């Protein structure tokens, strides 16, 4: 029986258990749910939980354990000369066995008889059915494949029986527990609590896993390149490392990338913060509800545009526009029509990224400004303050910590942005301060190092992980600091 069918049956048992359990509880309560400790639904859920959870648990354990067990017993039965071979070759042999086993399931009984023990015939027969084999199977392989099929079949049968039995037994056990004073609600709520905990720990564990994987790769990088050369190096020139070329020595200086990241992020914030804040103030304090209900969602649409779209907006529109503008300006002033703004430049990337960040700034700040209690507004207006005085002297100071938090979160987004920079600021890793020249960022270089034909042992590739962990540390610090500030601010009004 297939796994999904088993799951379906277990679910049906659970559903039936729910209905029967709920009915049973009403029956023991004499038809009145007020006589029961918990509402009938909780008794039903209790039975359903017992029918489903242990059975599914066993099912998954079995699904994980049985292939491992079967494979080790098949490998244990390999002839001695095969066992003497290397681990890799044994693995190949086992792979062939599983292919044969899969093929034998496709063949009809007569065909198996006809092929008999002739391995060469078997290969062509299987090939005709669409199951290619890497080489001619040896006799012991055919035998092992037979064993494999038998064991798999037996295991599946046993699993089906066990899971269904456990499901039924669980339901029956729970059913018998039902009594008027039985605390079904508390038990069910505990199960819900556990599942909530599991869900949140999965998210946390994933983060931990990602960090650990980056850390291990990064430490491998640091065995090739000393940490201080990475963190304080001023030249980024990783050279090439195509697979098999052995790789030549490169220079992996973080500083140019970090400077580029911070510079472009800074320019982006320069555009995003004033515009975003002003629009938030307008939305929160001046806009009539009608305008607000239209304008706010429209502004938030900006946040839904994929960043790659901003990227080619920068590449095809903003970049050339700035370049032409600069050449016209230059021409008007000096008579020399050469452009001083490159099409790909810090300014272009910062400007377009700033536009991307406006909705974040305005939406977050808007929420924070509207969270300032109405009583403070009234208090200030009641003293004869104008609206703008109220905003400047009461509302913004009260909202300031929250706004700073919002800006830090926005900044961490700017630091992590990739696509806009690739298209708008180029890939040249340089240390310079002219905003009209191209620069590049950490994320762009990560993409660069990880595209193409790769060898995951060379520093050229591993540096991506070191860059990644650095970037992660930066954004993590920004976010933690932002959360800290926002939380502190929340306490003021509670």
Partner 1 sequence: MNMMSEAAVEKALDQKMNDASYKMIGKDVSVYYGEKRALFDVNLNVRENTVTALIGPSGCGKSTFLRCLNRMNDTIENCRVTGRITLDTDDIYDQNIDVVELRARVGMVFQKPNPFPKSIYENISYGPRIHGLARNKTDMDQIVEASLQRAGLWTEVKDRLHESGTGLSGGQQQRLCIARAVAVSPEVILMDEPCSALDPIATAKVEELIHELRANYTIVIVTHSMQQAARVSQRTAMFHLGQLVEENDTDKMFTNPDDQRTQDYIMGRFG
Q: Which residues of the shown chain bind partner 1 in the complex (CB under 8 A)? A: 288-289, 373, 375-386, 389, 393-394, 397-398, 492
**138 DSSP assignment:** P
Angle at 452 between CA 447 and CA 453, to 5 degrees: 135
Q: Whose Cβ is closer to partner 1: residue 381's or residue 431's?
A: 381
- The distance of closest approach from Cβ of residue 485 to partner 1 in the complex, given in angstroms and rounded to an integer, is 15
Classify 384 in phi/psi space as left (phi over 0), alpha (psi -120 to 50) or beta: left
- The distance of closest approach from Cβ of residue 384 to partner 1 in the complex, given in angstroms and rounded to an integer, is 3
Residue whose tokens read 């400004």 = 369
Contact call for residues 440 and 429 (beta carbons, < 8 A): yes
Burial per residue of 19-39, b for 16 or more beta-carbon CB atoms within 10 angstroms, e otherwise = ebbbebbbebbeeeeeebbbe
CA atoms within 13 A on the CB side of 290: 0
Q: Whose Cβ is closer to partner 1: residue 189's or residue 285's?
A: 285
Name the phi and psi angles at 251, rounded to 5.
-115, 130
Name the phi and psi angles at 131, rounded to 5.
-115, 95
Q: Whose Cβ is closer to partner 1: residue 353's or residue 403's?
A: 403
- The distance of closest approach from Cβ of residue 381 to partner 1 in the complex, given in angstroms and rounded to an integer, is 6
Among the residues of 77-138, which ranges form H helices? 80-83, 87-106, 109-115, 119-128
Residue whose tokens read 């798999």 = 152
Per DSSP, the three-state class of 252 is strand
Q: Whose Cβ is closer to partner 1: residue 267's or residue 395's?
A: 395
Burial per residue of 332-343, b for 16 or more beta-carbon CB atoms within 10 angstroms, e otherwise = eeeeeeebebbb
- The distance of closest approach from Cβ of residue 368 to partner 1 in the complex, given in angstroms and rounded to an integer, is 14
Q: Whose Cβ is closer to partner 1: residue 328's or residue 492's?
A: 492
Q: Whose Cβ is closer to partner 1: residue 274's or residue 373's?
A: 373
Rounded CA separation 165/92 (Å): 38
Residue 357 burial by Cβ neighbours in a 10 Å radius (0-12, 13-18, 19+): buried
- The distance of closest approach from Cβ of residue 398 to partner 1 in the complex, given in angstroms and rounded to an integer, is 5
Q: Whose Cβ is closer to partner 1: residue 270's or residue 287's?
A: 287
Q: Whose Cβ is closer to partner 1: residue 289's or residue 335's?
A: 289
What are the residues facing 237 on neighbouring strands?
251
Rounded CA separation 159/102 (Å): 20
Burial per residue of 228-266, b for 16 or more beta-carbon CB atoms within 10 angstroms, e otherwise = eebeebeebebeebeeeeebeebebbbbbbbbbbbbbbe
Beta strand 251-252 with 236-237 is antiparallel
Which uninterrupted H or E stretch holds 236? Answer: strand 236-237
Rounded CA separation 19/354 (Å): 57
- The distance of closest approach from Cβ of residue 378 to partner 1 in the complex, given in angstroms and rounded to an integer, is 6
Q: Whose Cβ is closer to partner 1: residue 76's or residue 382's?
A: 382
- The distance of closest approach from Cβ of residue 386 to partner 1 in the complex, given in angstroms and rounded to an integer, is 5
- The distance of closest approach from Cβ of residue 405 to partner 1 in the complex, given in angstroms and rounded to an integer, is 16
- The distance of closest approach from Cβ of residue 297 to partner 1 in the complex, given in angstroms and rounded to an integer, is 19
Q: Whose Cβ is closer to partner 1: residue 304's or residue 382's?
A: 382
Q: Whose Cβ is closer to partner 1: residue 248's or residue 492's?
A: 492
25: nearest Cα among 154, 196, 240, 180: 180
Q: How far is CA 478 from the centre of its chain?
A: 20
- The distance of closest approach from Cβ of residue 397 to partner 1 in the complex, given in angstroms and rounded to an integer, is 7
- The distance of closest approach from Cβ of residue 379 to partner 1 in the complex, given in angstroms and rounded to an integer, is 4
Query: What's the Rg (C-alpha) of the chain?
Result: 33
- The distance of closest approach from Cβ of residue 484 to partner 1 in the complex, given in angstroms and rounded to an integer, is 18
Q: Whose Cβ is closer to partner 1: residue 256's or residue 401's?
A: 401
């Amino acid at each position: 029986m297939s796994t999904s069918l088993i799951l379906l049956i277990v679910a049906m048992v659970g559903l039936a258990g729910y209905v029967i359990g709920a009915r049973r509880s009403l029956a023991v309560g004499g038809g009145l749910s007020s006589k029961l400790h918990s509402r009938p639904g909780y008794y039903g859920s209790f039975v359903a939980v017992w029918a489903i959870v242990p059975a599914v648990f066993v099912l998954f354990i079995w699904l994980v354990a049985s292939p491992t067990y079967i494979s080790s017993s098949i490998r244990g039965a390999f002839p001695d000369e095969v066992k003497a071979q290397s681990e890799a070759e044994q693995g190949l042999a086992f792979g062939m066995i599983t292919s044969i086993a899969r093929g034998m399931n496709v063949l009809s009984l007569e065909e198996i008889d006809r092929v008999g023990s002739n391995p060469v015939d078997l290969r062509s027969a299987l090939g005709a059915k669409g199951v290619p084999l890497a080489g001619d199977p040896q006799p012991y392989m055919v035998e092992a494949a037979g064993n494999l099929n038998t064991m798999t079949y037996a295991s599946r049968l046993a699993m089906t029986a066990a899971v269904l039995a456990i499901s039924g037994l669980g339901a029956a056990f729970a059913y018998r527990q039902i009594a008027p004073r039985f605390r079904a609600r508390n038990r069910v709520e505990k199960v819900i609590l556990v599942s909530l905990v599991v869900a949140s720990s999965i998210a946390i564990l994933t983060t931990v896993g990602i960090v650990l994987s980056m850390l291990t790769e990064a430490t491998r990088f640091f065995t090739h390149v000393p940490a201080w050369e990475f963190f304080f190096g001023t030249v980024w020139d990783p050279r090439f490392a195509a697979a098999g070329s052995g790789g030549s020595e490169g220079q992996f200086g973080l500083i140019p990338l970090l400077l580029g990241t911070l510079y472009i992020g800074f320019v982006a914030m320069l555009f995003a913060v004033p515009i975003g804040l002003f629009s938030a103030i307008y939305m929160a304090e001046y806009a009539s509800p009608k305008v607000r209900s239209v304008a706010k969602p429209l502004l938030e649409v900006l946040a839904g545009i994929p960043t790659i779209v901003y990227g080619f907006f920068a590449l095809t529109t903003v970049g050339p526009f700035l370049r032409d503008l600069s050449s016209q300006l230059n021409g008007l002033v000096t008579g020399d029509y050469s452009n001083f703004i490159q099409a790909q430049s810090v300014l272009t990337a910062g400007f377009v990224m700033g536009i991307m960040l406006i909705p974040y700034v305005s939406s977050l700040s808007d929420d924070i400004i509207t969270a300032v209690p109405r009583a403070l507004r009234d208090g200030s207006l009641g003293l004869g303050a104008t609206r703008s005085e109220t905003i400047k002297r009461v509302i913004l100071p009260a909202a300031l910590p929250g706004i700073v938090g919002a800006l830090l979160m926005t900044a961490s987004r700017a630091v992590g942005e990739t696509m806009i920079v690739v298209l708008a600021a180029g890939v040249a890793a340089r240390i310079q301060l002219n905003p009209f020249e191209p620069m590049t960022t950490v994320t762009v270089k990560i993409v660069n190092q990880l595209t193409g034909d790769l060898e995951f042992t060379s520093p050229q590739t591993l540096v991506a992980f070191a860059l990644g962990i650095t970037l992660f540390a930066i954004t993590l610090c920004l976010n933690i600091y932002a959360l800290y500030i926002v939380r502190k601010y929340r306490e003021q009004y509670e």
